[in-house]
Structure 1
C-alpha cells in the first residue's frame, strides 16, 4: 500500500492537472454517480467521463471501478482522492490568504524612519492604520539616513522616511516636505535675549552640541557652514536627540536641530531661535526601490504617511 501511495502522489504532482480535474474526481468519489457528480461540477455526463479518463491516463492508474450499478474507488483512487482533497484545501487557503492581503485583512509592512520622524508623527499614523486594519502587522526601524537607504536597497523594508541623499541614485526618492532648523539654548543664555533670527555662523563662538557626521542633521549643518568656508566642531557629539536636549538644558551648549526633533524635547525649558534666511531646511521624503511593486497594505500605509507629512509645517509657515 505504501508503494501505491508514493507512486500515486508522484503522478499527482507531475501530471498537468487543474483544480477542475481534482474537483471532478473528488465529486465522483463522494457521489459514486456520474450523473450526480456531473451536476456538481457543471459538466455533462459524457464530458465528465472523458475528464476522468484523461486524468487516469495522465497519472497512469485507474481511479474508479465502473459497474452497471456503482462506481467505486480503486486503491490508487483512494490515495489520489486523499491527496487531491489536501491540494484543494491548500489552494483554497492560498486564495483566501491572497484575498485577505489584497483587502488588508492580513500581511505586514515594514518601514524605516529617521529617529525624529519615528518618534513624532509615525506612531500616530501606525495607530490610525492599525485601527482600520488590525490584522496587518507593522514593523518600524528607527535609524539614521544612511542605514535607512541600505534597508530599502536590501529589501528589508517596504519604504523609508528620510532626508534626501544624492548619492543614492539607484533608489527612488520623492520629497514630501521640509523640516527647518532652529537654534535651541538653555534659559538665561545670552542668545535668548535676542530679537529676531540669527545666522548660524554667528553662534559658533558658543559651544555646540550635535549629532555625529553620519546623521542627516549633522550633514546639513556641515554643508551650510562649509559653503561659507567654516568648519563645524561641536563640543559634544551624541546619537540621540533626547541626550542633546538634556545637555542643552544643563547649560553645556546650544544646538541647531530640525523642528521635528525639537518637538520631542521638553521645549518649555529651552529657548528656540529661528535661523536667518535662508537658514537650513532638511528635505523629508519617501525612499523606495525602483520598479518594485508594493503590497496593498504598504500602499495604504504610504498614503496615510503622505497625508500626515503634508500637514507638517513648512518653512514658509513661519515667516
Structure 2
C-alpha cells in the first residue's frame, strides 16, 4: 500500500510546552492531507495525530486519556477514525502498546510535522504580537540623546526579538526618510504640509541662545530678549530657520553661515564665528566653553511629534514602540513644564 504525507494545515493556537491536553484541545480543526488511496478517506485531523503520538508515547489508552483530559472511549474512537482514514492499522495489538511498521513510520513523521507546525504557529503569533520583526526609526539628535535611551532600553527588554534600527537626522531629513519608506517612524518637528505624512504632537521645548563663554551675552543667567541679540552674528540651523519672529527673520537674513549638524554647529560657536539658537533638548549638555541662556520669547518653541506615512499601516512592533514612546514623551514633557533640565536617560 502506498502512503504519503503531503501538507499540514490548521487554525492558530498557542503552543505550550508540556501541556499536551491544552495543545490537543486547541487544534481540533487542524488537518493533514494524505494522497488518497482506495483505502483512504483522504483527510486526517492534526488532533488525531496528536492523540496517536500521545497514546504511542504512554503505551496505553488510559494514561493517554488522563494526559490530554479526555475519556478513554473518546481516545479510542479517535484512534479508530485515524486508522480508518489511513486505511491500515497503526497498533499491533488492541492494548495499543505495540506499533505496526506503518505505525512506527507515522509516529516518526507525525512528531516531526507536529513540532514544525507548533514552531510555525509560535513564529506567526510572535510576529503578530510584535515580539519579533524589524523596525526602523529616525529622529532628531536631541530626541536621540534625551528620549531614546530609556525608551529603547525598555522596549528591547520587553521585545528582545525585535531588530531595531535608529537613525538621527535633522527634521527635514527625518520627514524625507519616512516619506520614502526608508524608516517606519520619525520623531521630529512638524513636516511641511502637502506631503503623504501624518504628524501627532508629543512635546514642545523652548529655544536657547548659545554663545561662547567669553561673549557679553554669557554674563547673565536669565532669559534673553530679541533686542539683546541685535548686532550679533547668527549661525543658522534647521531649527532656527523655523522660527517666524520678525527679529529672528532679520538675524537670519544677515547670517552668512548655515550649519545643520549640531556637533559642527557648536564647534563653530565655540570658535567665535557667531551665536546660534537651538531647542532646549538639543543642548541638554553643552561642551565646555559654551553658555546657553533661555530665549525670552515664549512663542519661540519647537513642537516635536510622531511622523508616519498616512497611507501605511503600522506593524505590531511599531504599535508597541509608539505606545512606549507616548508614555516616555509625556514624562519628558512634564519635566520640561516643571523646568527640570533634560538629560540623557537609560540604566
Flag whether TM exceeds 0.5 (same fold): yes
Q: Residues 132-162 of structure 1, C-alpha deviation per residue, up to 9 Å, x if partnerless?
A: 6484655422223244345556776564322
Provide the alpha-carbon RMSD of the alignment.
4.3
1:101–1:297 CA contact under 8 A, matched in 2:
no
Q: How many residues are paired up?
A: 306
Residue correspondence of structure 1 range 1-319 to structure 2 within 5 A: 4=3, 7-10=4-7, 13-14=32-33, 19-56=46-83, 60-62=86-88, 64-68=90-94, 70=96, 72-93=98-119, 110-127=136-153, 133=158, 135=160, 138-149=164-175, 151-152=177-178, 159-167=185-193, 170-192=196-218, 197-199=224-226, 203=229, 205-211=231-237, 215=238, 217-221=239-243, 223-224=244-245, 232=253, 234-266=255-287, 269-288=289-308, 292=314, 294-295=316-317, 297-298=320-321, 301-314=324-337
**Alpha carbons of structure 1 residues 55 and 199: separation in structure 2 relative to 1, 3 Å:** farther
Cα distance in 2, alignment partners of residues 249 and 105 from structure 1:
45
Unmatched segments (≥5 aa) in structure 2: 9-30, 35-42, 342-347
* Counterpart Cα distance in 1 of 2:294 and 2:112: 67
CA distance in 1, matches of 2:88, 2:194: 61
TM-score (norm 1): 0.72
TM-score (norm 2): 0.67
In structure 1, stretches of 5+ residues that fail to align are none
